Amino acid sequence: MRLSARPIAALVAALALTAGLSITGTPAVARSDDRAAAAEASDVSIAADTYTWKNARIDGGGFVPGIVFNRSEKNLAYARTDIGGAYRWDQAGKRWTPLLDWVDWDRWGWSGVVSLASDTAEPDNVYAAVGTYTNSWDPTNGAVLRSSDRGASWKAATLPFKLGGNMPGRGMGERLAVDPNKNSVLYLGAPSGNGLWRSTDSGATWSEVTAFPNPGNYAQDPSDTSGYGNDNQGIVWVTFDERSGSAGSTTQDIYVGVADKENTVYRSTDGGSTWSRIAGQPTGYLAHKGVLDSSTGHLYLTLSDTGGPYDGAKGRIWRYDTESGAWTDVSPVAEADTYYGFGGISVDRQKPGTLMATAYSSWWPDTQIFRSTDSGATWTQAWDYSSYPNRSNRYTLDVSSVPWLSWGANPAPPETAPKLGWMTESLEIDPFDSDRMMYGTGATVYGTEDLTSWDSGGTFTITPMVKGLEETAVNDLASPPSGAPLLSALGDIGGFRHTDLDAVPAMMFTSPNLDSTTSLDFAEASPGTVVRVGNADAAPHIGFSTDNGANWFQGSEPSGVTGGGTVAAAADGSGFVWSPEGAGVHHTTGYGTSWTASTGIPAGATVESDRKNPKKFYGFSAGTFYVSTDGGATFTAKATGLPAEGNVRFKALPGTEGDIWLAGGAPTGAYGLWRSTDSGASFTRFSGVEQADSVGFGKAASGASYQTVFVSAKIGGVRGIFRSTDAGAGWTRINDDAHQWAWTGAAITGDPRVYGRVYVSTNGRGIQVGESSDTDGPGTDPGPGTDPGTDPGEPPADADCSVTYTVTNRWSGGFQAEVKLTNTGTAAYDGWKLGWTFPGDQRIGQIWNASHQQTGAKVTVTDAGWNGMVAPGSSAAFGFTGTTTGDGTAPGAFTLGGEACAVG
């Protein structure tokens, strides 16, 4: 699965917020000339209603770069994520417990966890190094959090530099380590050239180890001027040899990994006073991990030619004998046979000489896991080729608890669905149980409890061990009045239709599969009609459903679309308005068989629909509000003086024409909450709302004349999630300081059927569901709706491609063909999917240099990974054998990502 928590520059730019969180204060009434008139509001109640919070279950959904077992207490384990906080394993419930939900809006970057350390001497102690970006995207410095109650509460030591939980190299580690003999001593490897740091008071204060000679020099992309790809990845792991100390005394032998291909391992033999490069070490690689087997005295390094976590084209595994000083290459395969780097590594503390490692960057056909029981002299692997492309697996993979991990795919061998994973930078054998192993991927945590069956020639069972760990980044949410209670637009894994908030959905949205869904909407009066748009390597970027999101069909799109943008559905489902990236605002009737450019509205505007008048659509851009009364064909500029900076989101009230609420802005300009009751001709600002970022509506309270309004906002000096049952005259904070989830500004919506229920977006902690203890006006959920529909079919547009299809051999009942795809455009393909429909009964048998899916006569062929990048004017070729009862007539048409190619 091609998953990564990508940098969110535009998002973060809008989060450079001021002031710390306060729980006291009065509503602000300030007014400036560039803002519309202020409404006379509002009274504020801080946590006056008691809410219970939970996740809408997805289970996983993001990268887990680190798993840490405590080595002195059984079943005590932690996991870290790149943007979604840290977790502790609950053995009784076989689930993960979140530990950083208290991270607040102003310090949102602390939800990115660079490293974790569990104290062997005192297992109640746990430490987390936090911070999301080392560049300007994150406004706050990093910190080391310390807890003496296993993460139930924390204290923080803010550092004089930033840390990068979502930066390149985030799978390396662990950068943070506790001295196993003297647990008041900790070390932290810093990025950005900041060197090695040490604490001697259990993490309360930190100082640089000035004697350490090398702060690192490797950057993923030195030409990147954003501070992301060109950041020095620095000091990447610290490992103690506990044999060189005794309880209460400082460990003398300490090993440190550095992001420097020529000088990647250093050692101190005097408790950190002096340091030197270890002679004879491998060069030309970065050591992602350094793990010491104290029973054998062997230090193992997993190496890659890049910092990861998704790149890496070559790799090795080396063993260092700490007694003799001898280095040995113990790699399981020849260097020439690697197309990946090695990342995750663990030793079995119960069985000296037994170790495992991962090929973290092997996307196609699958990741690989290696195991040795003789200190790396020989290895076996999780799967082998029996007769290519068929595989012989030492494992069975059961994803029935998280079925979407198959991605709805049906690839040809040697690729499988579901896969063992990708971005497998973390793998840990339970130090108390040789049969239990866990490893993190770009989407989940997998594990087994019968691992030693590997050694006896049997098969072991791998299952998701991810319950409770929710790491999706949420872009949009919708709660229709009938059908499923919740539809979601998510980063990296598209989105889901939740018919049961406490159950993992069977599959994410497919047909099309979108890398990230950026916006979705349903027709208010016809909730079976749903539209979603998002980002993908190639077209299509839009999908439609006529059965409330249960099934989807791909839509065509205007020329030039490069990303999802925002989309809106007419109140009755008769048409749609789309503002995609790469193209201006467009409108259509029906299901987008053709699109027409809208006029009067700038490209990139945010679009929404009126929830009663099907001809009325709204738009917003750079402080100006736009209105269309002809189905999106033409827009007219209306209200001005609205926020010209930052992100702005707005929603129209269901069932009432022209009632619009708008939230957004930036601390350097207009920032707050506005309302219009005249279809955007004018807006009135709520004076008591100092800042607001998203707004939504839910079922009205009993006896109330207005639907419940929910906002993610700052009111009365307090940042939080607020509810109003009287059209904004008064507000109640409904979250608390233990439930803040860092940044919650992307989307919020109430449930139109259940009073008080609210769905809140997070950037890495999934979808939060709040339930009110106030039963004033409870609603009922009638269950999923039907509203069945059919796919009307849609003609594809033209793509920049040409296809040559050649039958190279025929025999009775079969044939062989070669296909060449040529890029005729001006931009490179970054991955490709070629489709066609066979005449007759032709079926593909074996394919090479690509993978394929075939349903009936329809075929989709996907690049093999290594040939996914096709420069302008260049070609990618693949071949296959097929069966047929006819003559193997060539297909007459081909599509690239759903758009038509020329036939050569």
Active site residues: 82, 492
Q: What are phi and psi of 464, to 5 degrees?
A: -65, 130
Per the document, the length of the chain is: 904
Round to whole Å and give the CA distance between 248 and 307. 36
Peptide bond into 365 cis (omega under 30): yes
Taking alpha carbons only, the member of 583, 582, 587 closest to residue 618 is 587
| Cα angle for residues 440, 442, 444 (degrees, 5° grid) | 55
The backbone region for 49, taken as left when phi is positive above 0, alpha when psi lies in -120 to 50, beta otherwise, is beta
For 82, residues 6+ apart whose C-beta sits below 8 A from its C-beta are 5, 62, 63, 65, 112, 113, 132, 165, 166, 170, 764
CB 79, CB 765: distance < 8 Å:
no
3-state secondary structure of 454: helix
Tell me whether strands 684-686 and 38-39 are parallel, antiparallel or unpaired: parallel
> What is the token pair recorded at 662?
């708008």
**Rounded Cα distance, 498 and 114, in Å:** 32
**Which residues does 142 contact at the CB level (< 8 Å), separation at least 6?**
109, 110, 114, 129, 130, 131, 158, 159, 161, 162, 163
End-to-end CA distance of the chain: 32
Going by C-beta distance under 8 Å and a sequence separation of 6 or more, which residues neighbour residue 331?
A: 315, 316, 317, 318, 338, 342
From the list 739, 769, 774, the residue with the least C-alpha distance to 755 is 774
Q: Are 696 and 721 in contact (CB under 8 A)?
A: no
Q: Quick check: 141 and 113 in contact, CB under 8 A?
A: no
772 neighbors 756 (Cβ within 8 angstroms): yes
Q: How many CB atoms lie within 10 A of CB 81?
A: 31
Provide φ and ψ at 83, rounded to 5°.
-135, -5
Given a contact cutoff of 8 angstroms between Cβ atoms, the answer to whether 395 and 405 are in contact is: no
- What is each CA distance from 874 to 7, 152, 797, 832, 868, in whole angstroms? 30, 56, 22, 13, 12
Phi then psi dihedrals of residue 406, to 5 deg: -80, -15
Query: What are 188's two structure tokens?
Result: 């932290």
- 């060539």: which residue's tokens? 890
Cα angle 863-867-871, degrees, rounded to a multiple of 5: 110
**Taken in order 395, 400, 402, 404, is the CA torsion positive or negative?**
positive
